[in-house]
Chain A
Amino acid sequence: MKLVKFLCAGFLAAGIVLTGPGLTAQATDFIVVQSTTSTQNSGLFDAILPEFEEKTGIDVRVVAVGTGQALKNAANGDGDVLLVHAKPAELTFVADGFGVERLDVMYNDFVIVGPADDPAGIKGMTDAPAAMKQIAGAEAVFASRGDDSGTHKKELALWTEAGIDPADASGTWYRETGSGMGATLNLAAGKGAYTMSDRATWLAFNNKGNLAILAEGDDRLFNQYGIILVNPDRHPSVKAGLGQKFIDWLTGPDGQKAIASFKIGGEQLFFPNARGSTTN
């Protein structure tokens, strides 16, 4: 009997701790947005979400993971809205019935960064696949995300265009970190490696060390972000109404303006390009 009492007391105590403020405060309306690390690490969400939350009273809860994981989580119904940057994968997501519709939101571009002394000699190049071919030729260390993220997918597409299969070199000059952009930049800074980053994360990143932008300006480095409402027919738990409100705001004039006004050190990180938007 003592054991039973002991167990009861334990669960009672657990109940008391559980009912503390942090664990149960869920009174407000909220949506879960599955998004990518670049939007969080750059500080974009911290900058623009308060305006939306104040206007609508809807709390936006951002889960920032790689695009691959975000797509998977959203396909499981663990989120109401998806905001990522891998258009082919996004279109497949919608075609498979997991999402309602895909809309453009904003864009920026990728840059190839590397050690300032540039052992592969790519500085100033504007042909991204050619620059990567040169890195491979010099067998200079290249840090790849290796995590099926939007950035990783883009990097692999560039390798294909360069006619190189870096998988053969994995573990030698080609290092797959299997982690986020920030962690990969930390590794590149520590090892003096080349890597490809979205410009937003790069600009906001505060441990650049000896790294510098070496190649940029190729059209193929274009980085488009899209937003999708997770299909409520597939997952009834999806808060379609609230999610749609957020999508309407972000792709509407107010949201687009908020995106455009987000700057770090005077530089704009994301360029709104939702159709029908009035700001650029």
Chain B
Amino acid sequence: MMTIKSKTEGYPRYAPGTHVSGRDISNKNVTYSWWEPEVQYSWSLGPAYGRFLQELKKGKIIGRSCKKCERVIVPPRMFCEYCYRSTDEWIYLKDTGKVETFSISYLDPNARRIKEPILIGVISIDGASPMHGFMHYFNDMKPEDLKIGMKVKAVWKSEKERTGSITDIKYFKPMNEGDK
């Protein structure tokens, strides 16, 4: 541990604080307390996400339209955030789309390193307005083949495995000729 009181000519004149290194913790040079809260929620889906997930279970992607700004919106919502009015109709979309952006991740959710990268990105869905889509995984391709603008298609879990979750789509794969 180190209390640093470096003085400089400018401001801030000094920087108070006591640095603790990882070693200070493993050597138990510092005392600390531990608490693990029980944190559980069951969020109501609401009509928009509720229907969206139900349709995923059926193997379909659905959106909502706003007639005022003429958008087809996915993920769907019951109100249009730009017009501030209720959206109008349910519209089935294709399960194909375009990669708008992506990343090749070597980090797990807790920032631990992983060897096999996760391919992740935003897919705009065919049938919806431009730039309207959601985040999902990519697979069946080499990381270096993943490009912005490439066409992809959803790979679904089998009907039995589907639970009404975004993960009912396993991932998106490159679209081949003949894919609809």
Are A and B associated in one complex?
Answer: no
Residues of B within 8 A of A (CB): none
